Amino acid sequence: MDTSILFQETQLGALKLKNKFIVAPLTRMRADQPDMVPNDLMVEYYSQRASFGLILTECSQISPLSHCFPGSGGIFTEEQAQGWKKVVDAVHEKGSLIMLQIWHNGRAVNPSQIGGQQPIGPSPIAIDQNNFLANNEPYPVPHELTIEEIKEVVQQYKRGAELAKQAGFDGVELHGANGYLVDQFLRDGSNQRTDIYGGSVQNRSRFCLEVIDALAEVFGYDRVAVRFSPTGRYNGQYDSNPLALMEYLLGELSKRNLAFVELKRHGALEYFIKNNSEDKRIPPAQQIPDFFNQLRKFYQGNLVANDGIKIEEALTLTTSNTAQAISFGVLSISNPDLPIRVKNNWEINQTIDKNTWFFGGSKGYTDFPTYEQQINVSSS
Ligand SMILES: Cc1cc2nc3c(=O)[nH]c(=O)nc-3n(C[C@H](O)[C@H](O)[C@H](O)COP(=O)(O)O)c2cc1C
């Protein structure tokens, strides 16, 4: 198999990647508590993956109210920025680039996880599931943000970007996927506002575009990226017409010269979703068939493809110019050296250990060996 295209230098906005391999954003919950400060273990974990052209960090919260994962590294205090700086410096030193995934969880959290406060959202609609991160309690009805409060949240994203810049990140990726705040505004299952932030696809896209514009005030558009999962069902999400939404949104983003848009096809987060035979809504794969090719038609800039992509599909997507680069999630957990394995045609480690995704310190986090370490261990 000729994989050479995956090792071409790739320009994504202002970022020059040494290859087309990207570490997908992965929450691993190893930051110091209670201050959510990135630590030395995280320095080791991220810098182990420097053979990838670009690393996207775990989703990083912009305020105390904006997170649901204890142990995700935050980006709203100087101390957190200093912790991230150590991660960034180590990754740069080993020759890769790193962007912070910037995040607000919105309604996807229980009061017990955020000091008893009520979560926020575009509309007072709760996720119709129980929260496995909060003793399986039902999700609460979020407080519907006023227009003034929306403006404040946009400023929190901007402040997060300023701290990310201070930490030395090469840019930021806005988390617009997986049922968190931006995605909650985008989709009509969670956004039933009647003001300028709800209703039409133009209005539902407004919050996302305002946040992107605020991030670009800090980094410039060519160091800002955004991730979407328009058909994903994680966190109880649904949109009645995701194709129309993406046609408008990607059209608007085409005017902005972003570093890239990362598209997550529905798939791997099914790890977390129980099959519900009562769900009579249109299945995700039927909402946008031929996902990447369809969405490519709406976007003029760089696309990064994600979700269940193996090397063969990565080659097809990049050779056809459907995607300029590919992000890998679970494969980058068990293969810190994935690009090197592919280049040398070495075996890819297919281990999936869900027990250590979110817990376990170094176990399942920094102890996956590179291929060369693995061979040395087995031959000694
Ligand atoms: C343990 C774990 C943590 C994740 N954390 C995030 C996250 O912080 N932000 C995000 O956008 N997606 C997150 N995802 C989704 C992944 O980025 C990716 O979209 C998913 O794993 C599918 O890609 P893959 O098939 O290459 O693994 C997570 C997935 C897993 C398995």
Q: Kindly give the number of the ligand 1 atom that is closest to the alpha carbon of 330.
A: 27
* CB-based contact 188:222 (threshold 8 Å): no
Residue 262 alpha carbon to ligand 1 centre in Å = 12
Name the phi and psi angles at 306, rounded to 5.
-145, 155
* Number of folded domains that form the chain: 1
Residue 103 alpha carbon to ligand 1 centre in Å = 14
- 299 is known as an active-site residue: no
Residues 6+ apart with CB under 8 A from 269: 178, 229, 232, 233, 234
Name which residue sits closest to atom 31 of ligand 1, judged by CA.
330
Tell me how far the alpha carbon of residue 280 is from its chain's centroid: 28
Is the CB–ligand 1 distance for residue 131 below 6 Å?
no
What is the residue range of 172's domain? 4-379
To the nearest 10 degrees (0 to 180), the angle between helices 78-93 and 147-166 is 50
Work out whether the CA dihedral 350, 353, 359, 362 comes out positive or negative: negative
Is the CB–ligand 1 distance for residue 140 below 6 Å?
no
> The CATH number of the domain where 245 resides is what?
3.20.20.70
Is the CB–ligand 1 distance for residue 64 below 6 Å?
no
Which spans in the chain are helix H? 40-48, 78-93, 147-166, 181-186, 201-219, 242-254, 284-287, 291-296, 311-319, 330-334, 338-343, 371-379
* CB-based contact 272:234 (threshold 8 Å): yes
290 pLDDT higher than 90: yes
Give the pair of three-digit tokens for residue 334: 């068990």
Residue 250 alpha carbon to ligand 1 centre in Å = 22
Is the CB–ligand 1 distance for residue 24 below 6 Å?
yes
Average pLDDT on 238-249 reads 97
Q: Kindly give the number of the ligand 1 atom that is closest to the alpha carbon of 177.
A: 11
Per-residue model confidence as pLDDT tens digits over 274-286: 555 567 788 888 8
Per-residue model confidence as pLDDT tens digits over 112-148: 989 999 999 999 999 998 998 899 999 999 999 999 9
Is the CB–ligand 1 distance for residue 59 below 6 Å?
yes
* Highest mean pLDDT: which range of 67-71, 115-119, 167-171, 271-275: 167-171
- From the list 45, 46, 157, 180, the catalytic residue is 180
**What pLDDT, on a 0 to 100 scale, did the predictor assign at position 270?**
53
Where is 130: in which H helix or E strand? strand 130-131
Q: What is the DSSP string of 158-174?
A: HHHHHHHHHTT-SEEEE
